[in-house]
Amino acid sequence: MKESFLHKKLEERKAEQAYRTLRLPDGKADFCSNDYLGIIHQGLIEANTTAAATPLLHGSGGSRLLAGNYSRIEQLEKMLATFHEAPAGLAFNSGYDANLGLLSCVPQRGDTVLYDTLSHASLRDGLRLSFAQAFAFEHNDLHALEKRLQAATGNIFVVTESVFSMDGDQAPLEAMVRLCKQYEANLIVDEAHATGVIGEQGEGLVQHLGLQQACFARIHTFGKAVGCHGAVILGSETLRQFLINFSRPFIYTTALPESSVAAIQTAYGLFPAMHSARKQLQQLVQLFQQASLPFEKLRSDTPIQVVIIPGNDQVKAIAGRLQAAHLDVRPILYPTVPKGSERLRIVLHAFNTVDEVNQLIHLLTASASPAH
C-alpha cells in the first residue's frame, strides 16, 4: 500500500514546526488540562460514588433509538434540564458530538447561521454538514454581527461560545440577546468552558446573566470542569424531539453507558457547592492578570490565560523551557490558531498554588532575556 501522500503531508507539518505528538503526563504542575475545579485531580467522583447494589454497566447495548435507552439516562436529562432551568435536554456522548449533531440538522436550506470567527472546531464542523448558508462575524464584534443580521435570510441562528476556549474571554451575551430579539434570530450558546466555573453554582454564563429563556439552545459539556465525559443540549421539548429524529450523531451512536451517566450525576452533586474552589480560581486569575510580562497577554477573567508568542518555533521553545522547569504548559500552534497568534494557553486550576503561579510568571519573564 502506497502511503507517500500521507508522508508528504506529515513532512509539511514538520517543516512548519506544527507537527503534533502525543505525550503522557509525568508529574509536572498542571497548567494545561481543563480540570478547572480539580474534580479529576482529586478523584472526587470516585470518592463520592456509592457502590450500587447492582454493578453499573459499562456498555449500553446500542443507540438510544434501539436497545440503548434506559431510565437512568432519561433521569439524567431531566435533572440537567432542571438544574440549568431549561424545558428539556438531550444527552450526547461528547461536546463535539453535541455541536455536530445540533448544527448539522437544525438549520435548513435557505436558513442563515452567523457564528463568531473564534467558534470551536466542533461548531464549525457541524456547519459544514448543514445545508444552511453560514457566515462568520469578527470576534465579539456586535457591529459586525448586526451587519450580518441585516442581510440574513430564512430562519436565522447566531452561534457563539460563552467562554472562548483559545482566548479565555467571554461573549457579550446580553447585547447579543438584544440583537437576536430585534432581528428574530435564534441564539445558540456553547457553555463548555463556563460550566462549573461561572455563576454562584457553576451554572454557566447564560444563567448567571439570567438569559436562559432567551436562548434557542445551550450546550453544556462534562469533559472540562465537570470532570467526566458527555454533553447535553438544552432547549424546548420540540427541539429535543427534533434532535431525536434528525440528529445523526445521536441516532447512529451507541448511547452513553450507565457508568458514564452515574459519573455525571455524581459530578452535578459536587460542583455546585465548590464555592471555595471557584474563589481560589479567581484569586489565581487576578494574580496572573496583574503580572507584568514581556509578551502580549490577553485580558481574561476566566481560568484560560493566554500569552501570545508569534511563531511556532518561538512558542514551542518557550513552552519547552517551562516544561523543563516541571510546569506543564502547552503551546498552541498554527494552524490551530491563525499564523502570528501562536500562544501559550495557560490554564489555572483550583489546585494550583500561588507559588506555582509566581514561578510561572518568573520563568515567562526570564524567557524574554537575551541570555535565553
Over the stretch 87-97, which tens digit does the pLDDT of each residue have?
999 999 999 99
244 φ/ψ sector (left φ>0, alpha ψ -120 to 50, else beta): alpha
Could you read off the pLDDT of 300-310 as tens digits, one per residue?
A: 999 999 999 99
Packing angle, helices 142-151 and 173-182, rounded to 10: 20
CA angle centred on 72, ends 270 and 240, rounded to 5°: 95
Do 123 and 258 sit in the same domain of this protein?
A: yes
What grid cell was written down for 54?
447492582
Q: What is the pLDDT of residues 173-206, one digit of tens each?
A: 999 999 999 999 999 999 999 999 999 999 999 9
The yes-or-no verdict on residue 291 having pLDDT over 50 is yes
CB 127: neighbour CB atoms within 10 A?
Answer: 23
Share of the chain above pLDDT 90, in %: 91
Predicted local confidence at residue 369, as pLDDT:
59
Position 346 pLDDT exceeds 90: yes
Mean pLDDT of 128-135: 97
What per-residue confidence (pLDDT) applies to 174?
98
At 316-339, the pLDDT tens digits run 999 999 999 999 999 999 988 889
**C-alpha dihedral (75, 80, 82, 86), degrees to nearest 10:** -120
Q: What is the pLDDT of residue 157?
A: 98
Same domain? For 309 and 335 the reply is yes
Residue 16: the pLDDT is 85
42 occurs within a structural domain: no
Q: What is the CATH number of the domain that holds 115?
A: 3.40.640.10
Position 372 scores a pLDDT of 46
Mean pLDDT of the chain: 95
Q: Quick one: residue 39, left, alpha or beta (phi over 0 = left, psi -120 to 50 = alpha)?
A: alpha
Q: What is the pLDDT of residue 26?
A: 83
Q: What percent of the chain has pLDDT over 70?
A: 98
Is this structure's pTM higher than 0.85? yes
Q: What is the mean pLDDT of residues 271-279?
A: 98
Q: What's the domain range around 348? A: 14-37+274-367
Any idea which residues carry the catalytic annotation?
34, 120, 161, 165, 190, 193, 224
Instruction: Select the highest-mean-pLDDT range: 22-26, 49-53, 192-196.
Output: 192-196
**Residue 195 placed within a domain:** yes
287-296 in b/e burial notation, b at 16+ Cβ within 10 A?
A: bbeebeeebe
Distance (Å, rounded) from C-alpha 118 to C-alpha 366?
31
Q: Where are the alpha helices (DSSP H) in the chain?
A: 4-15, 44-47, 71-83, 95-105, 121-128, 142-151, 173-182, 205-208, 237-246, 248-251, 258-268, 275-290, 312-324, 354-367
Selection from 119, 248, 256 nearest residue 189 by Cα: 119
- Is residue 197 included in any domain, yes or no? yes
Q: Looking at the predicted structure, is the pLDDT value of residue 47 above 50? A: yes
In a domain, 54, yes or no: no
Among 242, 271, 300, which residue terminates a domain?
Answer: 271
Query: How many structural domains comprise the chain?
Result: 2
Q: Is 196 left (phi over 0), alpha (psi -120 to 50) or beta?
A: left
The CATH number assigned to the domain holding 358 equals: 3.90.1150.10
Instruction: Please identify, among 241, 271, 301, the residue that sits at the C-terminal boundary of a domain.
Output: 271
238-243-246 Cα angle (round to 5) = 120
Distance CA 192, CA 171 (A): 13
- Secondary structure class of 279 (helix, strand, coil): helix
Cell of 176: 447579543
Coil, strand or helix at 172: coil
Q: Do both 68 and 208 map to the same domain?
A: yes
Tell which of 217, 236, 271 closes a domain. Answer: 271
Q: Is residue 48 part of a domain?
A: no
DSSP labels for 305-339?
EEEE--SHHHHHHHHHHHHHTTEE-EEE-TTTS-T
Domain assignment of residue 115, yes or no: yes
pLDDT category of residue 371 using cuts at 50, 70 and 90: very low
Angle between helices 312-324 and 354-367 (to 10 degrees): 140
All three cell numbers of 143, joined, read: 457591529
- Among 83-87, 317-321, 368-372, the least confident range: 368-372
What pLDDT is stored for residue 111 in this prediction? 98
